[in-house]
Protein backbone atom coordinates (compact mmCIF):
# COMPACT_ATOMS: atom_id res chain seq x y z
CA UNK A 1 0.00 0.00 0.00
CA UNK A 2 1.28 3.44 -0.89
CA UNK A 3 -0.09 6.90 -0.44
CA UNK A 4 0.73 10.50 -1.15
CA UNK A 5 1.87 12.58 1.84
CA UNK A 6 3.59 15.87 2.55
CA UNK A 7 6.78 15.35 4.49
CA UNK A 8 7.59 18.47 6.49
CA UNK A 9 11.14 19.33 7.48
CA UNK A 10 11.94 21.62 10.34
CA UNK A 11 15.13 23.04 11.79
CA UNK A 12 16.61 20.46 14.10
CA UNK A 13 19.50 22.57 15.36
CA UNK A 14 17.35 24.41 17.86
CA UNK A 15 15.79 21.27 19.16
CA UNK A 16 17.49 20.64 22.43
CA UNK A 17 15.92 19.15 25.53
CA UNK A 18 12.62 20.62 26.65
CA UNK A 19 12.64 23.14 23.81
CA UNK A 20 12.14 20.38 21.33
CA UNK A 21 8.76 19.45 22.71
CA UNK A 22 7.52 23.02 22.85
CA UNK A 23 8.83 23.79 19.39
CA UNK A 24 7.13 20.82 17.77
CA UNK A 25 3.86 21.37 19.61
CA UNK A 26 3.72 25.00 18.53
CA UNK A 27 4.57 24.02 15.00
CA UNK A 28 1.79 21.42 14.95
CA UNK A 29 -0.69 23.90 16.40
CA UNK A 30 0.25 26.51 13.81
CA UNK A 31 0.08 24.01 10.94
CA UNK A 32 -3.34 22.78 12.07
CA UNK A 33 -4.64 26.32 12.16
CA UNK A 34 -3.11 27.22 8.81
CA UNK A 35 -4.70 24.20 7.14
CA UNK A 36 -8.01 24.41 8.99
CA UNK A 37 -10.07 24.65 5.80
CA UNK A 38 -8.78 21.26 4.60
CA UNK A 39 -9.32 17.68 5.75
CA UNK A 40 -6.01 16.05 6.65
CA UNK A 41 -4.12 14.20 9.33
CA UNK A 42 -0.97 15.48 10.96
CA UNK A 43 1.41 13.00 12.52
CA UNK A 44 4.94 13.00 13.76
CA UNK A 45 7.78 10.63 13.24
CA UNK A 46 11.22 11.30 14.64
CA UNK A 47 12.55 14.40 12.88
CA UNK A 48 9.62 14.93 10.51
CA UNK A 49 5.97 15.92 10.50
CA UNK A 50 3.68 14.19 8.06
CA UNK A 51 0.50 15.54 6.51
CA UNK A 52 -1.63 12.72 5.13
CA UNK A 53 -5.20 11.75 4.27
CA UNK A 54 -5.88 14.86 2.19
CA UNK A 55 -7.55 15.32 -1.14
CA UNK A 56 -4.78 15.44 -3.75
CA UNK A 57 -6.65 18.16 -5.59
CA UNK A 58 -5.81 20.43 -2.63
CA UNK A 59 -2.12 19.61 -2.54
CA UNK A 60 -0.76 22.75 -4.13
CA UNK A 61 -3.08 25.03 -2.16
CA UNK A 62 -1.96 23.30 1.03
CA UNK A 63 1.69 23.66 0.10
CA UNK A 64 1.23 27.40 -0.51
CA UNK A 65 -0.31 27.76 2.92
CA UNK A 66 2.44 25.75 4.60
CA UNK A 67 5.04 28.02 3.02
CA UNK A 68 3.70 30.74 5.32
CA UNK A 69 4.31 28.74 8.50
CA UNK A 70 7.50 29.76 10.28
CA UNK A 71 9.60 26.88 11.57
CA UNK A 72 9.26 24.76 8.43
CA UNK A 73 12.34 24.56 6.25
CA UNK A 74 11.05 22.51 3.35
CA UNK A 75 8.18 20.34 2.16
CA UNK A 76 8.59 17.16 0.18
CA UNK A 77 5.68 15.91 -1.84
CA UNK A 78 6.35 12.26 -1.14
CA UNK A 79 5.04 8.74 -1.57
CA UNK A 80 4.81 6.76 1.65
CA UNK A 81 4.95 2.96 1.83
CA UNK A 82 5.99 0.19 4.17
CA UNK A 83 9.76 -0.22 4.32
CA UNK A 84 11.17 -3.19 2.42
CA UNK A 85 13.86 -3.44 -0.22
CA UNK A 86 11.35 -4.78 -2.69
CA UNK A 87 8.96 -1.87 -2.14
CA UNK A 88 11.74 0.70 -2.36
CA UNK A 89 13.01 -0.71 -5.66
CA UNK A 90 9.50 -0.72 -7.08
CA UNK A 91 8.76 2.85 -6.01
CA UNK A 92 12.04 4.24 -7.31
CA UNK A 93 11.18 2.84 -10.71
CA UNK A 94 7.76 4.49 -10.64
CA UNK A 95 9.34 7.96 -10.65
CA UNK A 96 9.29 9.91 -13.88
CA UNK A 97 12.73 9.99 -15.51
CA UNK A 98 11.50 10.87 -19.01
CA UNK A 99 12.76 14.42 -19.20
CA UNK A 100 16.15 14.04 -17.52
CA UNK A 101 19.48 12.58 -18.52
CA UNK A 102 21.19 12.35 -15.15
CA UNK A 103 20.16 11.47 -11.63
CA UNK A 104 21.42 10.66 -8.18
CA UNK A 105 19.88 8.64 -5.35
CA UNK A 106 20.29 9.95 -1.82
CA UNK A 107 19.18 7.69 1.00
CA UNK A 108 18.55 8.88 4.55
CA UNK A 109 18.35 5.87 6.82
CA UNK A 110 16.89 7.00 10.15
CA UNK A 111 15.72 3.40 10.62
CA UNK A 112 18.96 1.73 11.61
CA UNK A 113 17.35 -1.72 11.59
CA UNK A 114 17.34 -1.80 7.82
CA UNK A 115 20.09 -4.25 6.80
CA UNK A 116 21.79 -2.02 4.19
CA UNK A 117 23.64 1.23 4.91
CA UNK A 118 22.65 4.45 3.18
CA UNK A 119 25.63 4.21 0.87
CA UNK A 120 24.87 0.64 -0.09
CA UNK A 121 21.27 1.58 -0.83
CA UNK A 122 22.34 4.59 -2.91
CA UNK A 123 24.48 2.39 -5.09
CA UNK A 124 21.99 -0.41 -5.29
CA UNK A 125 19.07 1.82 -6.23
CA UNK A 126 21.23 3.71 -8.73
CA UNK A 127 21.99 0.41 -10.43
CA UNK A 128 18.30 -0.59 -10.40
CA UNK A 129 17.35 2.65 -12.15
CA UNK A 130 20.17 2.41 -14.70
CA UNK A 131 19.13 -1.10 -15.60
CA UNK A 132 15.61 -0.02 -16.51
CA UNK A 133 16.34 3.40 -18.06
CA UNK A 134 19.18 3.15 -20.51
CA UNK A 135 19.18 6.87 -21.41
CA UNK A 136 20.26 7.87 -17.87
CA UNK A 137 23.60 8.31 -16.19
CA UNK A 138 24.49 8.92 -12.56
CA UNK A 139 25.81 12.39 -11.76
CA UNK A 140 26.79 12.79 -8.12
CA UNK A 141 27.48 16.52 -8.31
CA UNK A 142 24.94 18.11 -10.65
CA UNK A 143 22.15 15.58 -11.17
CA UNK A 144 19.13 16.77 -13.14
CA UNK A 145 16.99 14.70 -10.82
CA UNK A 146 17.68 14.04 -7.17
CA UNK A 147 15.81 11.05 -5.82
CA UNK A 148 15.54 11.06 -2.04
CA UNK A 149 14.66 7.91 -0.12
CA UNK A 150 14.01 8.36 3.58
CA UNK A 151 13.66 5.27 5.78
CA UNK A 152 11.99 6.55 8.95
CA UNK A 153 11.68 4.83 12.31
CA UNK A 154 7.88 4.49 11.97
CA UNK A 155 8.39 1.55 9.62
CA UNK A 156 7.68 3.59 6.50
CA UNK A 157 9.81 4.80 3.66
CA UNK A 158 9.26 8.13 1.91
CA UNK A 159 10.40 8.74 -1.61
CA UNK A 160 10.41 12.06 -3.43
CA UNK A 161 12.13 14.04 -6.13
CA UNK A 162 10.75 17.45 -5.38
CA UNK A 163 11.56 19.62 -2.37
CA UNK A 164 9.74 22.90 -1.88
CA UNK A 165 11.40 25.71 0.08
CA UNK A 166 9.57 27.12 3.09
CA UNK A 167 10.00 30.27 5.15
CA UNK A 168 12.31 28.79 7.81
CA UNK A 169 12.65 30.51 11.17
CA UNK A 170 11.08 29.45 14.46
CA UNK A 171 7.42 28.68 15.19
CA UNK A 172 5.20 31.65 15.98
CA UNK A 173 4.77 31.98 19.70
CA UNK A 174 8.10 30.41 20.62
CA UNK A 175 9.62 33.83 21.37
CA UNK A 176 6.69 35.54 23.12
CA UNK A 177 4.93 38.63 21.80
CA UNK A 178 6.10 42.05 20.59
CA UNK A 179 4.33 45.34 20.00
CA UNK A 180 4.80 46.55 16.43
CA UNK A 181 4.56 50.18 15.37
CA UNK A 182 2.77 49.72 12.07
CA UNK A 183 2.68 52.59 9.60
CA UNK A 184 1.39 52.50 6.05
CA UNK A 185 4.91 52.39 4.62
CA UNK A 186 7.11 49.67 3.21
CA UNK A 187 9.35 49.09 6.19
CA UNK A 188 7.21 48.24 9.18
CA UNK A 189 5.32 45.31 7.55
CA UNK A 190 8.70 43.87 6.56
CA UNK A 191 9.97 44.38 10.11
CA UNK A 192 6.93 42.45 11.38
CA UNK A 193 7.56 39.57 9.01
CA UNK A 194 11.25 39.32 9.88
CA UNK A 195 10.82 39.39 13.63
CA UNK A 196 7.81 37.04 13.59
CA UNK A 197 10.03 34.67 11.68
CA UNK A 198 12.11 34.39 14.83
CA UNK A 199 9.02 33.21 16.69
CA UNK A 200 7.61 36.51 17.96
CA UNK A 201 3.85 36.98 17.92
CA UNK A 202 2.67 40.45 16.98
CA UNK A 203 0.34 42.98 18.54
CA UNK A 204 0.33 46.31 16.70
CA UNK A 205 -0.35 50.00 17.08
CA UNK A 206 -1.09 52.48 14.33
CA UNK A 207 -1.25 56.22 14.85
CA UNK A 208 -3.45 58.31 12.60
CA UNK A 209 -4.09 62.03 12.45
CA UNK A 210 -7.64 62.07 11.17
CA UNK A 211 -8.89 64.44 9.73
CA UNK A 212 -5.43 65.58 8.58
CA UNK A 213 -4.88 62.04 7.34
CA UNK A 214 -7.62 60.34 5.33
CA UNK A 215 -9.77 57.33 6.15
CA UNK A 216 -8.13 55.61 3.18
CA UNK A 217 -4.82 55.85 5.02
CA UNK A 218 -6.38 53.82 7.82
CA UNK A 219 -7.91 51.32 5.38
CA UNK A 220 -4.48 50.85 3.90
CA UNK A 221 -2.98 49.97 7.26
CA UNK A 222 -5.79 47.47 7.89
CA UNK A 223 -5.01 45.92 4.53
CA UNK A 224 -1.30 45.67 5.39
CA UNK A 225 -2.16 44.11 8.73
CA UNK A 226 -4.23 41.48 6.89
CA UNK A 227 -1.40 40.76 4.52
CA UNK A 228 1.20 40.22 7.22
CA UNK A 229 -1.26 38.28 9.35
CA UNK A 230 -1.01 35.42 6.85
CA UNK A 231 2.53 34.97 8.16
CA UNK A 232 2.58 36.48 11.64
CA UNK A 233 -0.75 35.11 12.87
CA UNK A 234 -3.51 36.88 14.68
CA UNK A 235 -2.87 40.60 15.20
CA UNK A 236 -4.67 42.82 17.64
CA UNK A 237 -4.30 46.27 16.11
CA UNK A 238 -4.66 49.33 18.32
CA UNK A 239 -5.63 52.36 16.29
CA UNK A 240 -4.75 55.49 18.20
CA UNK A 241 -5.45 59.09 17.27
CA UNK A 242 -2.36 61.25 17.25
CA UNK A 243 -4.15 64.41 16.12
CA UNK A 244 -4.32 66.27 19.40
CA UNK A 245 -0.76 65.33 20.30
CA UNK A 246 0.51 66.63 16.99
CA UNK A 247 -1.39 69.86 17.31
CA UNK A 248 0.04 70.37 20.77
CA UNK A 249 3.58 69.66 19.61
CA UNK A 250 3.09 71.97 16.65
CA UNK A 251 1.88 74.73 18.92
CA UNK A 252 4.53 74.38 21.60
CA UNK A 253 7.76 72.94 20.29
CA UNK A 254 10.53 73.98 17.89
CA UNK A 255 9.77 72.89 14.34
CA UNK A 256 13.08 71.09 13.95
CA UNK A 257 12.32 68.91 17.00
CA UNK A 258 8.72 68.14 16.03
CA UNK A 259 9.41 64.70 14.62
CA UNK A 260 11.77 63.82 17.45
CA UNK A 261 9.13 64.62 20.04
CA UNK A 262 6.37 62.92 18.06
CA UNK A 263 8.42 59.77 17.93
CA UNK A 264 9.19 59.94 21.64
CA UNK A 265 5.47 60.14 22.38
CA UNK A 266 4.72 57.29 19.98
CA UNK A 267 7.28 55.22 21.84
CA UNK A 268 5.78 56.09 25.22
CA UNK A 269 2.34 55.01 24.01
CA UNK A 270 3.84 51.85 22.52
CA UNK A 271 5.52 51.04 25.82
CA UNK A 272 2.21 51.46 27.69
CA UNK A 273 0.37 49.25 25.24
CA UNK A 274 3.16 46.69 25.33
CA UNK A 275 3.12 46.41 29.11
CA UNK A 276 -0.68 46.25 29.24
CA UNK A 277 -0.82 43.53 26.60
CA UNK A 278 1.93 41.19 27.66
CA UNK A 279 4.46 42.25 25.01
CA UNK A 280 8.12 41.94 25.95
CA UNK A 281 9.51 44.20 23.23
CA UNK A 282 8.68 47.03 20.86
CA UNK A 283 9.23 46.49 17.12
CA UNK A 284 9.76 49.22 14.50
CA UNK A 285 10.65 49.47 10.82
CA UNK A 286 13.48 51.92 11.42
CA UNK A 287 16.59 51.66 9.28
CA UNK A 288 19.80 53.39 10.27
CA UNK A 289 20.30 56.68 8.47
CA UNK A 290 17.21 56.34 6.23
CA UNK A 291 15.81 59.71 7.34
CA UNK A 292 16.67 62.37 9.93
CA UNK A 293 14.65 60.61 12.61
CA UNK A 294 16.61 57.40 12.09
CA UNK A 295 20.17 58.57 12.66
CA UNK A 296 21.99 56.95 15.56
CA UNK A 297 21.48 60.10 17.63
CA UNK A 298 17.76 60.25 16.79
CA UNK A 299 17.26 56.59 17.63
CA UNK A 300 18.99 57.16 20.93
CA UNK A 301 16.74 60.11 21.80
CA UNK A 302 13.54 58.18 20.95
CA UNK A 303 14.79 55.03 22.62
CA UNK A 304 15.52 56.81 25.87
CA UNK A 305 11.83 57.15 26.85
CA UNK A 306 11.18 53.40 26.92
CA UNK A 307 12.56 50.62 29.08
CA UNK A 308 11.54 47.64 26.94
CA UNK A 309 13.98 46.44 24.30
CA UNK A 310 13.26 47.90 20.85
CA UNK A 311 13.70 45.43 18.00
CA UNK A 312 14.54 46.98 14.62
CA UNK A 313 14.79 44.06 12.22
CA UNK A 314 15.57 46.23 9.16
CA UNK A 315 18.05 48.50 10.92
CA UNK A 316 20.91 47.34 8.69
CA UNK A 317 18.90 46.84 5.50
CA UNK A 318 19.13 49.10 2.45
CA UNK A 319 15.80 50.30 1.08
CA UNK A 320 16.28 47.98 -1.91
CA UNK A 321 16.69 45.02 0.42
CA UNK A 322 13.60 45.97 2.39
CA UNK A 323 11.64 46.32 -0.84
CA UNK A 324 12.77 42.88 -1.99
CA UNK A 325 11.31 41.30 1.16
CA UNK A 326 8.13 43.37 0.78
CA UNK A 327 7.68 42.00 -2.74
CA UNK A 328 8.34 38.45 -1.59
CA UNK A 329 5.71 38.59 1.15
CA UNK A 330 3.21 40.53 -0.95
CA UNK A 331 2.95 43.81 0.98
CA UNK A 332 4.82 45.99 -1.51
CA UNK A 333 1.90 46.83 -3.78
CA UNK A 334 -0.22 47.94 -0.83
CA UNK A 335 2.61 49.88 0.79
CA UNK A 336 3.26 52.00 -2.29
CA UNK A 337 -0.35 53.15 -2.60
CA UNK A 338 -0.40 56.89 -1.99
CA UNK A 339 -1.19 57.83 1.58
CA UNK A 340 -0.35 60.39 4.19
CA UNK A 341 1.29 59.16 7.36
CA UNK A 342 0.78 61.20 10.47
CA UNK A 343 4.53 61.88 10.35
CA UNK A 344 4.00 63.82 7.13
CA UNK A 345 1.47 66.23 8.64
CA UNK A 346 3.05 69.54 9.73
CA UNK A 347 6.34 68.20 8.43
CA UNK A 348 9.19 70.60 9.26
CA UNK A 349 11.56 71.59 6.44
CA UNK A 350 14.70 70.84 8.42
CA UNK A 351 14.23 68.15 11.03
CA UNK A 352 17.15 67.88 13.42
CA UNK A 353 19.64 65.19 12.46
CA UNK A 354 21.55 64.99 15.73
CA UNK A 355 19.02 65.72 18.46
CA UNK A 356 19.95 65.53 22.14
CA UNK A 357 17.94 64.04 24.98
CA UNK A 358 18.49 67.22 27.00
CA UNK A 359 16.95 69.49 24.39
CA UNK A 360 14.02 67.12 23.78
CA UNK A 361 13.30 66.97 27.51
CA UNK A 362 13.45 70.77 27.73
CA UNK A 363 10.95 71.22 24.89
CA UNK A 364 8.63 68.58 26.32
CA UNK A 365 8.27 70.56 29.53
CA UNK A 366 5.66 72.65 27.74
CA UNK A 367 3.50 69.58 27.10
CA UNK A 368 1.32 67.68 29.53
CA UNK A 369 2.46 64.35 28.16
CA UNK A 370 0.71 62.20 30.77
CA UNK A 371 -2.60 63.83 29.96
CA UNK A 372 -2.13 63.63 26.20
CA UNK A 373 -1.03 60.00 26.26
CA UNK A 374 -3.87 59.04 28.59
CA UNK A 375 -6.44 60.72 26.38
CA UNK A 376 -5.13 59.15 23.21
CA UNK A 377 -5.24 55.70 24.81
CA UNK A 378 -8.71 56.20 26.20
CA UNK A 379 -10.01 56.72 22.69
CA UNK A 380 -8.20 53.86 21.01
CA UNK A 381 -10.01 51.60 18.61
CA UNK A 382 -9.08 47.91 18.59
CA UNK A 383 -9.39 45.68 15.54
CA UNK A 384 -8.65 41.96 15.57
CA UNK A 385 -7.20 40.64 12.35
CA UNK A 386 -6.64 36.99 11.65
CA UNK A 387 -5.73 35.79 8.19
CA UNK A 388 -3.51 32.97 9.35
Residues forming the site for ligand ATP (CB under 6 A): 181-183, 185-188, 205-207, 284-286, 290-291, 293, 341-343
CB of 336 to ligand ATP, least distance (A): 10
CB of 183 to ligand ATP, least distance (A): 3
CB of 185 to Mg ion, least distance (A): 4
Pairwise CA distance, residues 180 & 284, whole Å: 6
Q: Would you tell me which residues interact with Mg ion (CB under 5 A)?
A: 183, 185, 341
Task: Between 161 and 201, name the residue whose CB sits nearer to ligand ATP.
Answer: 201
CB of 357 to ligand ATP, least distance (A): 19
Residue 291 near which of ligand ATP, Mg ion, none (CB within 5-8 Å, type-dependent): ligand ATP
Residue 293 near which of Mg ion, ligand ATP, none (CB within 5-8 Å, type-dependent): ligand ATP
Residue 285 near which of ligand ATP, Mg ion, none (CB within 5-8 Å, type-dependent): ligand ATP
Q: Counting Cβ atoms within 10 Å, is residue 153 exposed (0-12), middle (13-18) or buried (19+)?
A: middle
Which pairs count as long-range contacts for 326-334, CB under 8 Å and 24+ apart, including other chains?
Answer: 326/186, 326/189, 326/190, 329/189, 329/190, 329/193, 329/227, 329/228, 329/231, 330/227, 331/186, 331/189, 331/190, 331/193, 331/224, 331/227, 331/228, 332/186, 334/220, 334/223, 334/224, 334/227
Indicate if the alpha-carbon torsion angle 297, 301, 306, 312 is positive or negative: negative
Residue 323 DSSP class: H
Residue 181 near which of ligand ATP, Mg ion, none (CB within 5-8 Å, type-dependent): ligand ATP
Task: Between 157 and 287, name the residue whose CB sits nearer to Mg ion.
Answer: 287
Residue 282 DSSP class: E
Task: Between 167 and 181, name the residue whose CB sits nearer to ligand ATP.
Answer: 181
Distances (CA, A) of 180 to 218, 238, 267, 311, 341: 16, 10, 11, 9, 16
Task: Between 171 and 285, name the residue whose CB sits nearer to Mg ion.
Answer: 285
CB of 180 to ligand ATP, least distance (A): 7
Pairwise CA distance, residues 227 & 186, whole Å: 12
Task: Between 54 and 193, name the residue whose CB sits nearer to Mg ion.
Answer: 193
Task: Between 150 and 341, name the residue whose CB sits nearer to Mg ion.
Answer: 341
Pairwise CA distance, residues 24 & 21, whole Å: 5
Q: Which residues are CB-neighbours of 64 under 8 A, at least 6 positions away?
A: none
Residue 286 near which of Mg ion, ligand ATP, none (CB within 5-8 Å, type-dependent): ligand ATP
Residue 71 near which of Mg ion, ligand ATP, none (CB within 5-8 Å, type-dependent): none
Helical pair 118-132 and 85-94, crossing angle rounded to 10 deg: 50
CB of 344 to Mg ion, least distance (A): 8
CB of 183 to Mg ion, least distance (A): 4
Task: Between 201 and 341, name the residue whose CB sits nearer to Mg ion.
Answer: 341
Amino acid sequence: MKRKVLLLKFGELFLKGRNRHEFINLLKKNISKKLQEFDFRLSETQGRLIVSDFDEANESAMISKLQQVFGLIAIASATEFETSLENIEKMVLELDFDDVKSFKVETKRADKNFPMTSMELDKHLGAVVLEKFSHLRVDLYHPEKLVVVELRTNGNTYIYDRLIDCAGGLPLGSAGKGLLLLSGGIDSPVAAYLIAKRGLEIEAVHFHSYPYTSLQAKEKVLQLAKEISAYVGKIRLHIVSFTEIQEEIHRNCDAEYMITIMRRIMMRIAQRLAVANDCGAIVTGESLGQVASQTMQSLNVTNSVVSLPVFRPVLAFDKEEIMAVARKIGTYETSILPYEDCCTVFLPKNPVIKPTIKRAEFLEEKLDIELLVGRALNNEEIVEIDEF
